Structure formats: C-alpha cells, structure tokens
Chain A
Amino acid sequence: MNYVFQFNVVWDHFPELLHGARLTIQLSAMAMALGLCLAIVCAYGKSAGPKPVRWLVGFYVELIRNTPFLVQIFIIYFSLPMLGLRLTANTAALLAMTVNLGAYASEIVRAGIEAIPQGQVEAARALGLRRLQIFRFIIIFPALKTVYPALSSQFILLMLSSSVVSTISAVELTAITNSLQSTTFRSFEFYFVATGLYLVMALGFRAALGAIYWAVFQHGRAA
C-alpha cells in the first residue's frame, strides 16, 4: 500500500479540531464535577443511609457498571422524548456521562470511606461534632485524599470515553474529526491528529488533577 499522507488538509481545519477539543474538555470537566457530587451522595447513602437507600444505590451502581456506556447513551437520548424531554444531544451526553461516572466513582469513594477507622468517627462524636461536620471533616475529606489517584484515573477514562457520544449527534472532538474526515477523505491524517489531541488533553487533565490535589489536600493542610 502506498498511501500519500497529506497533513496540510488537517492544518487547514486545525481551528475546527481545536474547537472540538475545547468542547470535549468542557463536556468532560462538567461531567467530572457533577459526577463526583453524585458519587459522594451515593457513597454516603450506601455506607450510612437506611436500607432502602442502600438498596437503591446498589441497584443504580450495578446497573450502570454492568451495561455498556454506548447503550446507556442510546437509552438516555432516545427514550427522553417519550418522557416529554427533548434535550440537545450535548446535554443528553453530559447527563449520560454524569450518570456513568457517578456509578463508578461512588464505589471508589465508598472504598475511601470504608478505610476511615471507626475510632476516628467515634472520637469526633465524643468531641461533640455534628453528623454533617463528621462527614465533612472526618470522613469525606480524608477518604477523597486516599482514593484520589483512582478517581483521577476514572476521570481520564471518562474524558476518553466521551469520544462515543458523537453517535447521538453530540458535538465534540471525535464528532468534528468524523465530519472532517468524511468530507475530506483524509481519515488517517485526521485520526492521527485527533489521537494526539486526546493524548495532550489526557496529560493536561492529569496535570490539572495533580494541581487540584496539591491545592486541596496538601497546600490546604500545611497551614
């Protein structure tokens, strides 16, 4: 096979690819923030809530973790209009990513919560801290610190798996790459460059998450 690479086509469309990368970053960052909130609520519900709540969270987590992401996206996007909701594809994608991350991350956060020695909680109670204060200072903060590396990996995975949301017409880097390659037919070139952009974004997210760790858990504690 003698394929002649023509990267100049890609550079002509590079601003569009960058726009796609920006959309991917936006979508992923929002899903990370919302997903983490959902995960903390679920993890707390599962470790300290009443039985029905535990059962409900367990059902949600197992349902999401044992079905493909692509199918979840389809179900969310194509079944919402039946409930009278017509979201844009990007909003539906954000919802799907949040729901997906929430399930995976809640198990990670729960592992962190379970690692907190019971004695610490009892000590806090003896000192007269209230329930929410105990959760805020004694449980969730150290728990998140413990599981931070695992959470970071899950976040990066989420960013990478956002590439499949183009199937429901959501617009992000893969969608724009697909459109460009299908109109210019330089698919190798576009996919190579998109791969590079994903790599840069993943490394960027890793660095940003590292900075957040430092700011929240180390810098904040030193004082």
Chain B
Amino acid sequence: MRICVRLLITVLLVAVPAMMIAAPARADSTLDKILKEKKLRVAIDVANPPFGVLDKAGEPDGSDVAVARQMAKDMGAELEFVQVPSTGRIPALLAGRADVTIASISVTADRAKAVMYCNPNGALQIVIFGPQSVAIKTPADLAGKRIGITRATLEEATVPKMASAGTDIVWFDDIGATIQALLSGQVDAVAMTSFAGKTVADGNPDKHIETKLLVTTAFYGPIVRHDDFELRQWINTWLFLNTQNGTLAAIYKKYTGIDLPVLPVF
C-alpha cells in the first residue's frame, strides 16, 4: 500500500511537470489543425448585404462568402460556415466555434484588443439613411430624431460619438431588424454601410430612401484569435496573392458594384 502511494507521488512529481513543459510544444496550432482535418470553419454573418446574404436557395452568398470559399479552396480544406448574427462575430471566434471570422469586420483599435486582424480585404462606408421626408443635413439635425443602429457594428462605435445631444439612438440585435424598423417607420433614419443602404433603397423605391450623412470610412479584414499567428500569416499570404492576381478586386466589384480601393497592409 505504502509503496503504491509512494509510486503514485513519484509519478505525479515527475510526470505532471514534464507534461506541462511538453504540452505547448506538441499542441497543434489552429493552422495545423485545419490542414490536418482538411476543414476550415469560417464565421459569417448572412444578414449583412452585400457581404453576407442568403440566396434564393437559402445558401450563403455575398462578398465575404465568396472570399471564404476561395480561401478554403486554395487551402485544400472543406469549408464549414458558422452562421452568426453581427453580435456573434467575435464571440464565435473566441469560443472556438470558428477558426476565422470573415464578416466585413472593420478594423478598430478596440476590437484588436480582443482578436487579431489579418490585412484588410475590403473597404466600406457607414452612412445615415432615411426617407426623403426626414430632414438631416448635418449631425446637429439628428437631435430629436430616432436613429436605429445595429449592435456590434462599426455604426455602434461611431454614430453615438458624432450624434448631437438629444438624439434618440435605439439599438437592434441584427441588421435585418434595423432595416425593418426603418421601413415600418419605427425609426426616422438608420446608420449602416452604404451598400446595405443601397440594397434597401433599391428594394423599396416607394419609400424614397436616400443618403443623408457620411459617418466614417473604414477597412475590414478577416480576424483570428490572438495567438493564431501561423493562421494569420497564411491568410495574409493568401490576401497578398489574391490582391496581386485580381481575385479580391473581382469579388468586391461583383457584389458591391464599385472598384476595390487600394488596400493598405500592416
């Protein structure tokens, strides 16, 4: 009995520290795991036209989706979509449900505290949209108006800062609800990307929706978890190659209708 106990203690004393030292070295990086399992899990937001939408057959489509498809193909991995609302884009990644999020996440210093950005793969503008009948020409005109914005978006980070005091800002959990609030008249105006606003305006000509104000311009890029340097480096390499061969520009043009601006790298 006593020998057993002693043996156990010895094993614990020797083996546990050994495992602790050895474990990090042996652990696979996320990139290793993707390549080994031949499966790339990408978090996408399909309620964010034109970056992520569901097509008529209910399949994911949009510029983010096209980028993810091409990336997985070049990686030689099967693509698995993890569909998340805009509020779930970062949590899904941090929780390990996805390896990378490709959901037009604008680069901000605050987000970079939680996740690691790859180089940008596109640019977007946040604008205030509203019906013709609502008079908004300067940020001061927002006072007294009910403005709808979507949580966990660049709008959320920028609109409250520019809005004058007395602006009634209301937060929705997804862009679909924000759009619906505008169309139903529950809000006077909304803030979203110029592309989403154009889709809404084009789809509802009777509402006479127009651009009111430019809030900000931003670049967006894929994000990975903080310690996934290998994966980030592979994605940056892929972004470099596909910027050079025009694939990214073609995808961007196809879905947004405008030319891809020169993408900065960092």
- How far does the alpha carbon of A81 sit from the alpha carbon of B131 in the complex, in Å? 15
Interface 1/0 per residue, A164-194 and B, CB below 8 Å: 0011110000010011011101111000000
Provide the main secondary structure of the chain A interface. helix
B87–A188 contact, CB under 8 A? no
Chain A residue at minimal CB-CB distance from B90:
A185
- How far does the alpha carbon of A187 sit from the alpha carbon of B148 in the complex, in Å? 23
A1-41: which residues lie under 8 A (CB-CB) from chain B? 1-3
Q: Does A155 lie at the interface of the complex (its beta carbon under 8 Å from any beta carbon of B)?
A: no
B110–A183 contact, CB under 8 A? yes
Chain A residue at minimal CB-CB distance from B168:
A88
A169–B181 contact, CB under 8 A? yes
Q: State whether A185 and B181 are in contact (beta carbons under 8 Å apart), knowing that A169-B148, A175-B171, A178-B173 are contacts in the complex.
A: no
Q: Does B265 lie at the interface of the complex (its beta carbon under 8 Å from any beta carbon of A)?
A: no
- How far does the alpha carbon of A55 sit from the alpha carbon of B161 in the complex, in Å? 53
- How far does the alpha carbon of A188 sit from the alpha carbon of B180 in the complex, in Å? 29
| Distance in Å: Cβ of B103 to nearest Cβ of chain A | 13
B156-186: which residues lie under 8 A (CB-CB) from chain A? 156-157, 170-174, 177, 180-181, 184-186
A142-182: which residues lie under 8 A (CB-CB) from chain B? 166-169, 175, 178-179, 181-182
- How far does the alpha carbon of A181 sit from the alpha carbon of B151 in the complex, in Å? 10
B177–A82 contact, CB under 8 A? no
Q: Does A89 lie at the interface of the complex (its beta carbon under 8 Å from any beta carbon of B)?
A: yes
A187–B170 contact, CB under 8 A? no
- How far does the alpha carbon of A74 sit from the alpha carbon of B184 in the complex, in Å? 11
Number of interface residues of B (CB under 8 A): 28
Provide the main secondary structure of the chain B interface. mixed
Interface size class of A (residues with CB under 8 A): 20 to 34
A81–B173 contact, CB under 8 A? no
- How far does the alpha carbon of A27 sit from the alpha carbon of B172 in the complex, in Å? 18
Q: State whether A78 and B184 are in contact (beta carbons under 8 Å apart), knowing that A167-B173, A169-B170 are contacts in the complex.
A: yes
Q: Does A104 lie at the interface of the complex (its beta carbon under 8 Å from any beta carbon of B)?
A: no
Q: Does B115 lie at the interface of the complex (its beta carbon under 8 Å from any beta carbon of A)?
A: yes
Q: Does A86 lie at the interface of the complex (its beta carbon under 8 Å from any beta carbon of B)?
A: yes
- Candidates B94, B172, B185; contact of A187 at CB < 8 Å: B94
- How far does the alpha carbon of A144 sit from the alpha carbon of B77 in the complex, in Å? 61
A1–B185 contact, CB under 8 A? no
| Residue among A79, A175, A187 with the highest chain B CB neighbour number at 10 A | A187
Chain B residue at minimal CB-CB distance from A176:
B171
Q: Does B73 lie at the interface of the complex (its beta carbon under 8 Å from any beta carbon of A)?
A: no
- Candidates A78, A166, A183, A188; contact of B173 at CB < 8 Å: A166
- Candidates A81, A169, A181, A188; contact of B185 at CB < 8 Å: A81
- Candidates B113, B170, B185; contact of A185 at CB < 8 Å: B113
A183–B157 contact, CB under 8 A? yes
Q: Does A44 lie at the interface of the complex (its beta carbon under 8 Å from any beta carbon of B)?
A: no
Q: Does A198 lie at the interface of the complex (its beta carbon under 8 Å from any beta carbon of B)?
A: no
Chain B residues near A187: list those with CB within 8 A: 90-91, 94
Residues of B within 8 A of A (CB): 87, 90-91, 94-96, 110-111, 113-115, 148, 151-152, 156-157, 170-174, 177, 180-181, 184-186, 227
Residues of A within 8 A of B (CB): 1-3, 74, 77-82, 86, 89, 166-169, 175, 178-179, 181-183, 185-188
16 contacts between A and B (CB under 8 A): A77-B184, A77-B186, A86-B186, A89-B186, A166-B173, A167-B174, A169-B177, A178-B151, A178-B171, A178-B173, A185-B94, A185-B110, A185-B111, A185-B113, A186-B114, A187-B91
